[in-house]
Amino acid sequence: MFTEVCRADDAAIARAAQLIREGALVAFPTETVYGLGADALNAAAIPAIFEAKGRPSDNPLISHIADWDALEGLISETPNETACRVMQAFWPGPLTLIFLKGKNVPDAVTAGLDTVAVRFPSHPVAQKLIRAAGTPIAAPSANRSGRPSPTTAQHVAEDMDGRIPMILDGGACGVGLESTVLDVTGERPRILRPGGITKEMLEEVIGEVDVDEGVLGMLREGAQVRSPGMKYRHYAPMGEITIVTGENASRHIAQLYDEAKGTAAILAFSDADYGTRRVYRLTDASGELFSVLRRFDEDGIAQIYAEDVPLGGMGLAVMNRLMRAAAFRVIRAE
Ligand code: TXA
Ligand code: MG
């Protein structure tokens, strides 16, 4: 299949919407990461998403809407007060909410769950595409399963060239990490995946919010998986990442680097001095993280030693992604 990469002007968006209506796949920008979209209400269109990504079919998709009325067609109950407050505060934006699923939503979208994930993105191209398609768009991140999520059209092309008919290029994504997934179906709201809307921002609007234990911890064996996406190794470059924490982290990182066999690199969030060693330094930890993970592969890095970041604000989302990329390899250096 030939994959067309198009600047996301109105004509290209109209053609993309036509493809969606015909049951085909289109990659498109959102404010978080690029999505790989299909008509969320067309059961026949959904399997191609899982095929193109190489994604296990038990990992459900987020349905994207671009006006408030579209929510009704996807869910089975009137949103509760918690849901209404966070929607009012953060939609459109990088927040995904879990609701009880309405009967229009195909099982393939929700992987057979009785809940559905819904998001109203703020990116103008995403909104125009959904409106032009006239249907909610089911979309996971547009990476091959196990690769870092794409934050540019170039990243999408690396993973999807030849697999989908069209990529809408809307430039680099602003947030650079995926949306926050918040379960509002239970008694207390619970973050299943930290992301663009922080725990602190949510708590200002709805009071205390739980963080699922799977967000940072290794899932305990046999523990119930609330968000199926959390059980897979994720965002992984081909090189091996080791996170080093603690007071002497930078000294220990330098030492590990010097002892490494093969090409090593340091992923730094602080301004620690590593001399002439090969350092990839992120000042805004969240926005560039996925690009840097991809660059490690391009640069043929075999061993990556990473600093950690404090868990406040976007730090929780950064550490959630980094822990997965590192397959939970963490060393504490006292
Ligand atoms: O920012 C984002 O959320 C991006 C853009 C494209 O919108 N999308 C995205 O989709 O990250 P994906 O498929 O890569 O991640 C969706 C996450 C997965 O961890 C999945 O398990 C979880 O949301 N999820 C989806 N439906 C769910 C449900 N009904 N209950 C619990 N978790 C759900
Ligand atoms: Mg993803």
Q: What are the two backbone dihedrals, phi and then psi, of residue 208, each rounded to the nearest 5 degrees?
A: -60, 135
* Position in ligand 1 atom list of the atom nearest CA 193: 19
Amino acid identity, residue 221? E
* 11 three-class SS: helix
> Residue 219 Cα, ligand 1 centroid: separation in angstroms?
18
The whole-number pLDDT of residue 334 equals 81
The whole-number pLDDT of residue 327 equals 87
Choice from 227, 232, 233 to test ligand 1 binding pocket (greatest atom count within 8 A of CB)? 227
Cβ atoms within 10 A of the Cβ of 289, count?
26
From CA 120, how far away is CA 99, in angstroms rounded? 14
From CA 187, how far away is CA 179, in angstroms rounded? 22
Do the strands 264-268 and 190-193 form a parallel or antiparallel pair, or are they unpaired? unpaired
> Residue 134 Cα, ligand 1 centroid: separation in angstroms?
21
* Position in ligand 1 atom list of the atom nearest CA 101: 29
Given a contact cutoff of 8 angstroms between Cβ atoms, the answer to whether 143 and 150 are in contact is yes
| Sign of CA pseudo-dihedral 30, 36, 37, 41 | negative
Segment-wise mean pLDDT, segments of 10 residues, the chain, 334 residues? 97 98 98 98 98 93 97 96 98 98 97 97 98 98 95 98 98 97 96 97 98 78 53 70 95 97 96 97 89 94 96 95 91 89
> Residue 290 Cα, ligand 1 centroid: separation in angstroms?
17
Q: How far is CA 202 from the centre of its chain?
A: 18
Cβ atoms within 10 A of the Cβ of 328, count?
13
Atom 3, ligand 1: residue with shortest CA distance: 179
| Sign of CA pseudo-dihedral 113, 115, 120, 121 | negative
> Residue 11 Cα, ligand 2 centroid: separation in angstroms?
28
* Position in ligand 1 atom list of the atom nearest CA 113: 29
Token pair for 313: 């604000």
Q: Which residues line ligand 1 (CB under 6 A)?
A: 30, 32-33, 35, 59-62, 94, 96, 98, 110, 113, 115-117, 119, 139-141, 178-179, 181, 192-193, 227-229
For residues 184-194, b (16+ Cβ closer than 10 Å) or e, as one string? bbeeebbbbbb
Closest ligand by atom to 177 CA: 1
* 164 three-class SS: coil
Closest ligand by atom to 180 CA: 1
Helix (H) or strand (E) holding 97: strand 95-100
Residues near ion ligand 2 (Cβ under 5 Å): 141
> Residue 140 Cα, ligand 1 centroid: separation in angstroms?
6
Q: What is the DSSP string of 234-302?
A: -S--SSEEEEEESTTHHHHHHHHHHH-SS-EEEEESS----TTS-EEE-SSTTTTHHHHHHHHHHTT-S
Closest ligand by atom to 33 CA: 1
Amino acid identity, residue 193? R
From CA 243, how far away is CA 314, in angstroms rounded? 18
From CA 242, how far away is CA 200, in angstroms rounded? 28
Closest ligand by atom to 116 CA: 1
> Residue 251 Cα, ligand 1 centroid: separation in angstroms?
37
Burial class (CB in 10 A: 0-12, 13-18, 19+), 114: exposed
Among 50, 329, 331, 316, CA closest to 199:
316
* Position in ligand 1 atom list of the atom nearest CA 226: 31
Cβ atoms within 10 A of the Cβ of 123, count?
26
Helix (H) or strand (E) holding 52: helix 47-53
> Residue 228 Cα, ligand 1 centroid: separation in angstroms?
9
The whole-number pLDDT of residue 283 equals 86
